[in-house]
Every structure is written in structure tokens, then in C-alpha cells.
Amino acid sequence: MKKFSLSSTGIKLVAILAMVIDHVGLLFFPHQLLWRVAGRIAFPLFAFLVAEGALRTSNVRAYLFRLLGFAIISQFAYIPFNGATGGILSPFNIFFTLSAGLLALILWKRLPRTISVPAIILLCALADILSFDYGAYGVLTVLISNLALQRRKLGITALLLFPQAVTLLRFALGAISIQGYASMSVPLVAIYNGERGRKLPRHLFYWFYPVHLLVLASIWYLK
């Protein structure tokens, strides 16, 4: 029997579906927690895809600028969407976080540890201070995802435990968080087969984000 596995395209489609479920629940069913719980798997999968993309690309600098470009484009859709939620989200969309995560990964790979580690700590601090979506947690998730690609068992274990550690830390600080459910993404990462899979339309991953935010916000404002 052929072992079931997921290509990067398969992971991408699951991440997109989970993101839509999360945002539909946030906007239209804010008191039904199950939507948000299901959506927790979206970000770690997108973070994993960024780490995987960094390994595959022949021009990581162009990749970084592409993420930053879509961060700016997406902000024009993110602002009205966030307004529809009552402004409960972070002021900057997820592409800024993924860009910061990719930059941290570049620093880790290209600079000596005496420089890269302080630079990454500063980058994480800025992600929190500027209130990027998921903040420092998001930046570090990209780095841990790279570890999962390089040292599979260690990285998978780290991806499993990291959301739990963050959830416990927030609880200790007096905050309630459902981020621990992000660990549900780990089995999907564990069955990643290292293949690209079926080719999707170019930049679908990028454009889907702002377009679906605009569609959902438009439905909410017109209801």
C-alpha cells in the first residue's frame, strides 16, 4: 500500500482552507470557537512553506522582496477586514511576519552566530513592538520550520512543543490563548514528501490572501 504523503502544493491548499475557515469564523461567527481552533493550523503551515521556499529558490533576495511587496499590497485589504472585526487583529498583516521570518532565516544562514543571533533577537523584538501578526512567535516558527526541513525529528518535535510553550507562557502572564492548537499542523508537516506536487497558477498563494480578505470584508459590510 502506498504511504500517504503531502507535497508542498498539498500543504499549501490545506493552509489556505484553514485560513479561510479561521477568517470566516472570526468575522461571521466570533462566538463559535471551533472555527478559530481549526484555523490555528494555517499559520504554521504557511511558515513551513516559507522555509521550504527559501530552500528551493535560486534567489532568496527576490523571494524576500516578493513577500514584502505582497505585504504592502495585502495591507490595503487587511485594513478594511480588520475594521470589520472591530480592530481585534494586529495592525500589520501576516505577510510582514512571514517576511521577517524569512529575513531571520537569511541572517541565520549567512552570518556568524555572534551577529545573527542578536540580529534575530532584535528582529523578533521589532515584530512584537510593531505588532506584526503573530509577532516574535511567527518569526521563530519560520526558523523552527527550517530546522524541520534540515533535521526532521528534532524540528518536528520543536514544532510540536513550541506552541504549547508559548501558550503556557501566556497563561503564566495571565492571558488565555488557543495557540496551542497550532500543534495540530505538525502531522501534516511530518508527512511532507519533499516534492513540489501539482503546479498551481503563479503567485496564487500570494494573491489569494488579499483577495479573500476583500471578499469577506465586502460581504460583511454589505450584509
Residue 207 belongs to domain spanning: 8-222
The total domain count for the chain is 1
Whether 2 is covered by a domain: the verdict is no
Question: Where does residue 15 rank: exposed (0-12), middle (13-18), buried (19+ CB within 10 A)?
Answer: buried
Whether 21 is covered by a domain: the verdict is yes
Residue 68: closest CA among 41, 102, 43, 45: 102
Whether 3 is covered by a domain: the verdict is no
Whether 1 is covered by a domain: the verdict is no
Tens digits of residue pLDDT in 110-144:
999 999 999 999 999 999 999 999 999 999 999 99
Whether 130 is covered by a domain: the verdict is yes
Determine the residue type at 63.
Y
Determine the residue type at 211.
V
Tens digits of residue pLDDT in 159-214:
999 999 999 988 888 888 899 999 999 999 999 998 888 887 878 889 999 999 99
219 grid coordinates: 460581504
Whether 136 is covered by a domain: the verdict is yes
Whether 149 is covered by a domain: the verdict is yes
Tens digits of residue pLDDT in 38-89:
999 999 999 999 999 999 998 999 999 999 999 999 999 999 999 999 999 9
